[in-house]
Amino acid sequence: MSSAESAGVAPGRARLTGMRLLVVGAGTRSDPDFPAPPGNGRAIAVLAAREGAAVACADMDTAAANATVGLIEQERGRAFAMTADVADPAQCTNMVAEAHRSLGGLDGLVLNVGIGLGLRLDGTSATDWDQVFAVNLRAHFLACRAALPLLADDGAIVFVGSVAGLRPGSDSPAYDASKAALFGLCRQVSREGAPRNVRANLVVPGLIDTPMGRGASARRPRREETSRRVPLRRQGTAWEVAYATVFLLSGESSYITAQPLVVDGGLTTL
């Protein structure tokens, strides 16, 4: 049974009022299906704005970032678009500084970027490995290194990972390894942020119905068969990932840090 929250139509509750937030990976890749579901980053940005945050929407695809801003503005939220390729260290660092300057400060950071290249060990080149780690892990390190001194006290960082970091699941060793490494990076960021009450946590999505998820599922059995693997008998939505993220950004999670929050319908435990 779906809820207003899982469908992305529940009204805001002012949970992030006054927060200045940078969402990295706030666009959504194009999808031939219509109407296409949003990606996790777009849902996070839209929901955060609905909950009262001013949002810097960063993506390497300018049009995708602008489209997310358009959705936010339709709801009379506050947002602006930024273009950055997080595989480029300079762009990654400058993105954080620009968001801080344009927002007049920074209270939160969401890192929702990831790619998967290579198929199994024998189909993964060293170049594939390095490119995946540049986007899936190095970018997160660089963004956190730049953001931590700028974040206001009591700020929050949320990494968006994958259940592929908990168990094999993608057939891409670089993807699985990079997502597993996010747990360690999250713990280190949490430790360094703790003296100023800056928290860092990790949302761990499972099978989510997004354009990227549909692309991955195309290499596997039909979506209906995939859903039957999940104890709750369906794929999740990007909005359900977004609500978990908003919780970890908000004061509702003020005593939670260095923790994974798994959003997978019971897939990895049941």
Could you list the active site residues? 175
Q: Rounded to the nearest 5°, which phi and psi values hold at 79?
A: -165, 160
Q: Is the peptide bond before 35 cis (omega within 30 degrees of 0)?
A: yes
Residue 209's DSSP bridge partners are 237
Structure-token pair, residue 97:
């500084």
C-beta neighbour count of 168 within 10 angstroms: 10
Structure-token pair, residue 30:
């194009």
Closest CA to 242 of 68, 32, 61: 68
CA angle 100, 5, 201 (to 5 degrees): 45
Closest CA to 136 of 97, 86, 91: 86
